[in-house]
Amino acid sequence: MNDQLTEYRIKKAPYYRATGDETELYEAAYSVRMPMMLKGPTGCGKTRFVEYMAYKLGKPLITVACNEDMTASDLVGRFLLDPQGTRWQDGPLTLAARLGAICYLDEVVEARQDTTVVIHPLTDNRRVLPLEKKGELVQAHPDFQLVISYNPGYQSLMKDLKQSTKQRFGALDFNYPDHEIEAEIVSHETGVNKEVADKLVSIAERARNLKGHGLDEGISTRMLVYAGSLINKGVEAKAACRVTLVRPITDDPDMRDALDAAVTTYF
Ligand SMILES: Nc1ncnc2c1ncn2[C@@H]1O[C@H](COP(=O)(O)OP(=O)(O)OP(=O)(O)O)[C@@H](O)[C@H]1O
Ligand SMILES: [Mg+2]
């Protein structure tokens, strides 16, 4: 094992509760090294899923949080100046391709399109990465796989991925899990009992129905985990819900009242 990758190995099995056949599908996709796109709203388990799959497949995971200021060099690498002269430093994508990691580009639409196109030659059957500044063509390691995440709700037409990018990926849809499964997750992650977890999920379901009717996004599984952790620390349930479920998602006084009322129904 290349020790440059040691820090990217996932040492402890991440807890991931499957909600359908996503683990089998991902394994099949990995077996043919198909690039994958994970689609779904914020806080529904995409990152946890890749961590779990990387662990299960025994592959290191290199994650890059994408943003609009990111350049192709941030992914691919650049020359650095040091006292000895100039030295090339691989970016995270190059490192993953060279050494055979799973490379997870989180929120890839945030990156500009001229940045996104550097992944093209890696995601077709060439599986190469040209380092133009260095004059090197990196042939991807057989274990290398590219995974991107994508929140379909947030895209403006300007910011969407190009079809030529999208069509290079297989895609898995993620969403908030069904009631029972979500309660199981919240209980497992926070230590609250089934009854409390169940109530938290019910509150979230109410809020999710308000999406598009005054709320941009529903209460995510992540937020329920926050709520559960505070409750488990002894914070009074209503106060915990206000801090973690209601206040973060809206500033609108009427919407806050509606959500507070939903909380009061259950706690
Ligand atoms: N299926 C699941 N199994 C286990 N935990 C889950 C699952 N779904 C959600 N969670 C919990 O929800 C939290 C948020 O999930 P995660 O960070 O994977 O969201 P995400 O989809 O990557 O969100 P974002 O788009 O904002 O990055 C996790 O830390 C975990 O506690
Ligand atoms: Mg994530």
- pLDDT in the model for residue 154: 61
Average pLDDT for residues 51-66, to the nearest whole number? 97
Residue 188 belongs to domain spanning? 179-266
Q: What is the mean pLDDT of the chain?
A: 94
pLDDT band at 108 (very low <50, low <70, confident <90, very high): confident
Query: Checking DSSP bridges between strand 85-90 and strand 77-82, what pairing results, if any?
Result: antiparallel
pTM over 0.85? The answer is yes
Reported in sequence order, the residue ranges of 110-179 that DSSP labels E, i.e. its strands, are 128-131, 136-139, 145-150, 170-173
Per-residue confidence (pLDDT) for residue 110, from 0 to 100: 86
- Does residue 145 share a domain with residue 15? yes
CA of 137 to the centre of ligand 2 (A): 30
Mutate which of 61, 107, 221 to test ligand 1's pocket (most atoms within 8 Å of Cβ)?
Answer: 221
Contact 108, 149 (CB under 8 A): yes
Per-residue pLDDT at 29 exceeds 90: yes
- Please write the tens of the pLDDT for every residue from 173-183: 999 999 999 99
On whether both 184 and 213 belong to a single domain, the answer is yes
Residues 122 and 207 in one domain: no
**Which residues, in sequence order, are bridge partners of residue 170?**
36
Is the CB of 88 inside a 6 Å radius of any atom of ligand 1?
A: no
- Closest ligand (CA of 174): 1
Last-in-domain residue among 116, 139, 173: 173
Poorest-confidence range of 50-54, 76-80, 84-88, 246-250?
84-88
Indicate whether 65 and 16 sit together in one domain. yes
Question: Does residue 137 sit in the same domain as residue 8?
Answer: yes
Q: Would you say the CB of residue 189 lies under 6 angstroms from ligand 1?
A: yes
The number of folded domains in the chain is: 2
Compute CA 110 distance to the chain's CA centroid, rounded to the nearest angstrom: 13
Q: Does residue 84 contact residue 128 with C-beta atoms inside 8 Å?
A: no
Q: Ligand 1, residue 38: give the atom nearest the CA.
A: 21
- The span from the CA of 50 to the CA of 21, in Å, is 14
pLDDT for res 111: 87
Same domain membership, residue 260 and residue 162? no
Rounded to the nearest angstrom, the distance between the alpha carbon of 185 and the centre of ligand 1 is 10
Q: In this structure, are 47 and 164 located in the same domain?
A: yes
Same domain, 109 and 191: no
Band (241; pLDDT cuts 50, 70, 90): very high
Per-residue pLDDT reduced to its tens digit, 115-173: 888 999 999 889 999 999 999 999 999 999 999 998 887 655 557 788 888 999 999 99
Residue nearest to atom 18 of ligand 1 (CA): 45
Question: Is the minimum distance from the CB of 229 to ligand 1 under 6 angstroms?
Answer: no
Which one of 173, 193, 223 terminates a domain?
173
Alpha helices in 80-220 (DSSP H): 92-99, 113-116, 163-166, 179-190, 194-208
